[in-house]
Amino acid sequence: DAKTTQPPSMDCAEGRAANLPCNHSTISGNEYVYWYRQIHSQGPQYIIHGLKNNETNEMASLIITEDRKSSTLILPHATLRDTAVYYCIVRQGGSEKLVFGKGTKLTVNP
């Protein structure tokens, strides 16, 4: 089973920042945190991943707490097209498995 906990749903106003939290209190030292999103009826899309340091790319920013037990995905200016299910994933025990949890359904409202 996935080792992450996310709120089932969140709402965000268009143009505002969307902050999606994820708890991964049992994360091991060599495990990365990944974020994906799935827009309805499509395959999941990779967003970002990180180990210890905060990461930023053209899609989002990833903030990882110092103890690595939680992280936050930030979409700085949410648009209607960002409405999707967002998955926070921790690679299990350094294996090749990639196990998804239930994710957070983010709805961006006009």
Partner 1 sequence: SQTIHQWPATLVQPVGSPLSLECTVEGTSNPNLYWYRQAAGRGLQLLFYSIGIDQISSEVPQNLSASRPQDRQFILSSKKLLLSDSGFYLCAWSLQLNTEAFFGQGTRLTVV
Residue ranges that bind partner 1, judged by CB under 8 A: 32, 34, 36, 38, 41-46, 49, 51, 87, 91, 94, 96-103
Residue 63 or 99 with smaller CB distance to partner 1: 99
3-state secondary structure of 58: coil
Amino acid letter, 91: R
Residue 4 or 70 with smaller CB distance to partner 1: 4
Minimum separation from the CB atom of position 7 to partner 1 (A):
14
Minimum separation from the CB atom of position 98 to partner 1 (A):
5
- Sign of the CA dihedral with 18 first, then 99, 32, and 65 last: positive
Residue 5 or 38 with smaller CB distance to partner 1: 38
Minimum separation from the CB atom of position 101 to partner 1 (A):
7
Residue 78 Cα distances to 27, 73, 74, 92, angstroms:
29, 12, 9, 30
Amino acid letter, 55: E
In the numeric block, the tokens 């969307």 are attached to 18
Residue 81 or 97 with smaller CB distance to partner 1: 97
